[in-house]
């Protein structure tokens, strides 16, 4: 009896997870990360605003603009018992924008970027998409023949950085995060279920940079958890309910070493704290009754008189996630800098509660790119990266999940004043 119960619980959690968060957290807030895989200890470059803004104190005085965009090609594959699905929907618009002002020992900044999501999935199957109780979201008992979903977070950050001495600098600021999600399902091209979710919340961060030697710098930054609250609106049955989404709090540490004037080496480490919270249970649901365990709940009726139940569910099966990166930049010409990097990321989600439509998997990333110094006032950078994921298996290989991602981007940096 234990195996069927676990299987039923897995499938039901897949539904809950899919309807709230289909895209994993991303570290690539700018093209500079795509080409180096490590930007935690970036100095003398405006793109440090996306990672640890304390490095802005090493800029020359003036006002700077950083504008970029990234895209990606992906292939998601999963096998769920008897069903096989794949998705290769590309994402072409993942922008970033920052404005920085630097004078004396201080710097102020404002930035907008995509910390998570930024893409779409489209699954189709004439025989129906059998993801457990997913059909329970439908007005009919039959599994849907198509699922379309888009998801993204937009995050804006404002703050400042100040250098007390040549060896000590600090930064602090606040972030506003906006979550947007839309999903639709149906049969033979006809949409019978459509939902939209919008939520927002605030968080803060504080960071430090220590320079014990002229060519070595250590940085650290802590960013608090984002708890975004809003509502989910059912566009077909015309009702709304409370919604909550979260981004993890994290610790970001880095080291910047310059063995020579033309070479820079960066190493970074990011620890995403588990979404698991001690609310007296380690399960997302009661496997006996099938009831979801919520921090808060709600009940009501839609326009057709159907009972609507819901609430927020924490990812109790999450664990600490680690991301390490190593990047190298070298000036090969007075107007050209080449770069490369490698990264490794652990898996946050346990096997039994993975989302097969977008599994969170261990991966190795390899990036390459360069920066062209167009003039004293402007530079252009391009980069590309390939992520290799480790296949995740569960239930004696009855469930198998894998994906591959290739990303690319460009960025323009200009000194306005």
Distances (CA, A) of 45 to 31, 41, 55, 309: 13, 10, 7, 50
Could you read off the pLDDT of 309-350 as tens digits, one per residue?
Answer: 655 544 445 678 899 999 999 999 999 999 999 999 998 776
**Rounded distance between C-alpha atoms, residue 224 and residue 348, angstroms:** 18
Q: Supply the DSSP symbol for 273.
A: P
Pick the CATH number of 2-415 from 3.30.450.20, 1.10.260.40, 3.20.20.140, 2.40.160.60: 2.40.160.60
Residue the block writes with tokens 């430090």 = 208
Confidence of residue 264 (pLDDT cuts 50, 70, 90): very high
Residue ranges per domain, the chain?
2-415
Q: Do 78 and 356 meet the contact criterion of CB atoms below 8 Å apart?
A: yes
DSSP H or E segment with residue 351:
none
Q: Which residue has the higher pLDDT, 216 or 75?
A: 216
Q: Supply the DSSP symbol for 391.
A: P
Indicate the pTM of the whole model. Answer: 0.83
Could you read off the pLDDT of 387-403 as tens digits, one per residue?
Answer: 999 988 777 777 788 88
pLDDT exceeds cutoff 90 at 300: no
Q: Report, as an integer, the average pLDDT of 355-368.
A: 82
Residue the block writes with tokens 């588990």 = 274
**Rounded distance between C-alpha atoms, residue 283 and residue 277, angstroms:** 11
Interacting residues of 55 by C-beta distance below 8 A, sequence separation 6+: 41, 42, 43, 44, 45, 48, 161, 209, 219
pLDDT exceeds cutoff 60 at 363: yes
274 three-class SS: coil
Which pair of tokens denotes residue 375? 């003039």
Q: What pLDDT, on the 0 to 100 scale, is given for residue 361?
A: 87
């Amino acid at each position: 009896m234990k195996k069927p119960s676990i299987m039923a619980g897995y499938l039901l959690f897949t539904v809950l997870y899919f309807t709230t968060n289909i895209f994993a957290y991303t570290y690539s807030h700018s093209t500079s990360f795509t080409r180096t895989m490590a930007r935690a200890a970036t100095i003398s470059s405006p793109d440090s605003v996306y990672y640890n803004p304390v490095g802005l104190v090493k800029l020359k005085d003036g006002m700077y603009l950083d504008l970029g965009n990234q895209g990606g090609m992906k292939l998601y594959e999963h096998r769920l018992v008897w069903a096989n699905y794949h998705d290769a929907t590309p994402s072409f618009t993942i922008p970033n924008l920052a404005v920085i002002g630097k004078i004396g020992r201080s710097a102020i900044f404002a930035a907008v970027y995509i910390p998570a999501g930024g893409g779409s999935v489209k699954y189709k199957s004439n025989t129906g998409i059998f993801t457990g109780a997913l059909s329970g979201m439908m007005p009919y008992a039959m599994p849907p023949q198509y699922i379309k979903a888009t998801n993204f977070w937009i995050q804006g950050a404002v703050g400042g950085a100040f250098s007390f001495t040549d060896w000590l600098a600090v930064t602090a600021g606040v972030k506003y995060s906006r979550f947007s999600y839309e999903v639709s399902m149906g049969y033979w091209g006809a949409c019978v279920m459509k939902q939209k979710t919008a939520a927002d919340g605030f968080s803060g961060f504080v960071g430090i940079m220590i320079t014990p030697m002229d060519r070595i710098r250590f940085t650290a930054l802590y960013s608090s958890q984002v708890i975004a609250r809003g509502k989910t609106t059912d566009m077909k049955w015309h009702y709304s309910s409370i919604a909550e989404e979260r981004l993890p709090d994290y610790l970001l540490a880095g080291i910047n070493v310059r063995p020579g004037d033309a070479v820079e080496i960066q190493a970074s480490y990011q620890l995403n704290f588990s979404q698991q919270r001690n609310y007296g249970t380690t399960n997302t649901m009661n496997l006996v009754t099938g009831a979801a365990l919520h921090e808060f709940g709600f009940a009501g009726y839609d326009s057709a008189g159907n009972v609507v139940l819901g609430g927020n569910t924490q990812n109790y099966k999450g664990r600490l996630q680690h991301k390490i990166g190593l990047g190298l930049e070298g000036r090969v010409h007075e107007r050209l800098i080449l770069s490369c990097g490698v990264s490794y990321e652990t898996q946050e989600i346990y096997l039994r509660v993975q989302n097969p439509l977008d599994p969170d998997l261990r991966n190795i990333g390899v990036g390459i790119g360069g920066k062209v110094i167009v003039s004293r006032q402007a530079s252009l950078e391009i980069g590309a990266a390939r992520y290799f994921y480790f296949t995740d298996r569960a239930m004696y290989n009855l469930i198998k999940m894998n994906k591959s991602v290739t990303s690319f981007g460009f960025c323009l940096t200009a000194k306005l004043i």
